[in-house]
A and B are shown apart, each in its own frame.
Chain A
Amino acid sequence: MAIATATQAASEDKELLISGSEAVAEALVLVDLDVVTAYPIRPYDTVMQAIAKKIANGQLVAEYIVAEGEHSQFEIVKHASTVGARVFCGSSGVGWMYAMECLVVTPPLRVPMVALVGNRALDDPGAFGVEHNDALVVRDLGWMLCWIDTSQEALDTTLIAYRVAEDRRIFLPLAISADGAFLTHSQAITLVPPKEKVDRFLPRYDRGDLLLHPDNPITVAPQANEDWVIEIRRQNDEAMKRAVGVIEEAYADFRRIFGRGPENPWFEEYMAEDADVILIGMGTISLPLKVAIRELRAKGKKVGLIRLRWFRPFPFERLAQALGRAKAIGVIDRDYSFGSPFHSGVVANEIRAAMYNADTRPPLLSFICGLGGREVMLEDVYKAVDMCYAAATAGKSDSKTHWLGVRE
């Protein structure tokens, strides 16, 4: 089905060989971006290089500001958004951390900023490679978070991101995570739709009664203290809950207009339908996992993959449903959460929590691998799958977290 719709669309779509970052930049031209701020840090900065070129060539008319640090980078677009501009920003690793104060204030201000996080290991020691801890630090703050896997998904998700974030029912910022190097710098054939289709899909950003303008002289973010803060937190919570429906609506519309895109926005299922063991991961780790799964299937082992796209809002009900039918679950984190329950990664504990009220709770094993951009080897995956089978036979989890591919 995916192949059929792609062929259908091909007549109008432009085919380009581009990286994940370049695909995001293509989408930003299509959404007629207004203000963008850049600051260099690898690997996300490739998107800013691509945008700068597009502005220089006249493909995009936007204010392009090179800030003097990530804090300013995020504050500038935050303020531009409050006067009605469609904005884009992004960062990686410790750069994202440098902007932390601004990341905190953006959701309660109901600023629908879209950002690209080129996932990168946090300092120290220095490493350019991928870890998901950078983006994950905002998981509790009202940012919508998703992880992408291909250039095509980068472009499509950027279009969807503006549609969701700028929906008046939501008005929350959204960060798209792309694995550093593996996606930000890797090229693939990508379909770029015509602008006319994008205009049908994405309405203009309308800030409405929240617009900061002399015709609408409001006071934004006064000192509220205990009189009102809990109510404001509750409003954010409600917006995040509403995001579930708005995301599903957006993906359905996307499929209708562009003729591609997943039916299930929340996660990709790869041979998971009949699987005894389901592996779970986010981002480009899907590639080695899929290769391993095909090899294992050839040997008669029924293994499948769930690649999580959306982390916030977290699709806990659908996940519990999809995972309940497996005999064992293996969660592979490309992140860490030192001192957490079972000393697991972040995703494993989110899934444990999601499964707590489920009718069937298969044994869950937790793995950490690929930190700092280390390649995930097939042998590591086979080892993890073997452990999952053992847990399935035993009928219980081992309450440990297994680090794969580490020199001990």
Chain B
Amino acid sequence: MAETTFTNATQVLEPFRGIKKVTIEEYFTSGHRTCQGCESALVMKLMVKAAGPRTIVLGSTGCMYVANTTYYTTPWVVPWMHTQLGSSGSAALGTAAGLKVLMRKGKMKAEPINVIAFCGDGGGADMGLGAISATMTHKEYNSLILLYDNESYANTDIQLSGMTPYGAHTTFSPPGKAKRIIHTRWKKNMAGMMAAGHPESRYVATVCASYAVEMMNKVRRALSIGGPTFIHSLDPCPKGWDYDPMLSHELGELAIETGIFPLYEVEDGVVKYYGKTKAIVEGRPRKPVREYLLKQGRFAHFTEEDLSYFQEKVDEQWEKWEIPGVVPFRKLDAAQAALNVK
């Protein structure tokens, strides 16, 4: 079949200029069964509100599938489909490729349709990393992969993932008499990895639903720019992190104010910091990590030593990283360079 004049254009989604300008239409409504205080459910709602009605959402296995999308009580107003735990990248790619070819060949009315695939931290940063990485190199297909990071396999009983913070108590890393800390790995730098490792992706960002308008505007930016794009959202989780559900927003704010989670975007290779993160980069003091950690039961077993270790690691990311909070490389200092020459 002959090709038509197909442009591969994206929808033009201007940023919302303030909370009062945000559209009132909802595309994620009643019917979900997530926990009280679930920040990830809010992320779903804001994500699709930002994207609008001409959107297809693919959801990989995780809380936002199992607890969120039950037969006969779906909350999704836009078309939605489940994909396998490690398949958010492939789901985005396949859906985008299918739409594109049908429009190219004149088998479907040509129009820009947003394709968003979401994954949890387990599905995205552990099992599905390879597929997401592959999708991030396919610049001819427009899609957004949104990783909602509640820092554990929260749907299956709170097991640790590659995104669980150092030392956190999960059902796979319980503190005990012989070992206080079972989980000794530092969390992956997912957005930095996506941006640094996929030079042809034009947009990577981090978000937190505590800053809802900024979050929606980053989703709109990603969808407007097109090609494969990636957003990492940090989602406080009352069940997994063990805190009062009313504190979800506050914990999100603290994660940023302590410098544990930076808010930024990388557009065409240029890093731009947002909000409190911007202030930190400009020299404003960070809050101590203990203010964030000690509000959560998952760190209740932490000693002063653990808190110091955590603080040092976070300090490092602001004081030593070449691009603070984003890229962990360091330039060789002059003395070291002289040694190497010899």
**A residues neighboring B (CB under 8 Å):** 32, 34-35, 61-63, 65, 67-69, 71-72, 75-85, 87, 101-102, 105, 204, 212-214, 216-225, 227-228
Contact = CB atoms under 8 A, between A and B. Distances in A.
B101 A34 contact: yes
A71 B69 contact: no
B94 A221 contact: no
A196 B49 CA distance: 46
A32 B1 CA distance: 7
B79 A72 contact: no
Contacts of A77: 94
Given A214-B56, A214-B78, A222-B82, A75 B131 contact: yes
B76 interface: yes
Given A72-B90, A217-B77, 20 more contacts: A32-B1, A35-B101, A61-B2, A61-B3, A68-B134, A69-B131, A72-B134, A78-B94, A79-B95, A80-B94, A80-B97, A81-B98, A85-B98, A214-B78, A214-B113, A217-B76, A217-B80, A222-B74, A223-B66, A227-B71
Interface stretch (B102-110, B272-280, B314-322, B334-342): B102-110
B53 interface: yes
Contacts, number: 147
Q: Specify which of A72, A77, A79, A84 lies most central, judged by the most chain B CB atoms within 10 Å of its CB.
A: A79
Nearest to A32: B1
B86 A35 contact: no
Where chain B touches its partner, the secondary structure class is: mixed
A344 B11 CA distance: 59
Contacts of B101: 34-35, 61-63, 80, 85
B322 to A, nearest CB: 28
Given A71-B86, A72-B134, A222-B74, A79 B79 contact: no
Given A75-B131, A84-B98, A214-B53, A67 B90 contact: yes
User: Which residue among B74, B78, B83 has the maximum number of chain A CB atoms within 10 Å of its CB?
Assistant: B83
B105 A34 contact: yes
Nearest to B84: A101
Contact of B87 (A72, A81, A224): A72
B20 to A, nearest CB: 27
A75 B87 contact: yes
20 contacts: A34-B107, A35-B97, A65-B138, A67-B134, A69-B131, A72-B89, A72-B134, A76-B93, A79-B81, A83-B56, A212-B79, A212-B81, A213-B108, A214-B53, A216-B79, A220-B81, A222-B74, A223-B65, A223-B71, A224-B70
A214 B111 CA distance: 11
A79 B69 CA distance: 18
Interface string B51-82: 00111101000000110011110101111111
B102 A79 contact: no
Contacts of B56: 83, 212-214
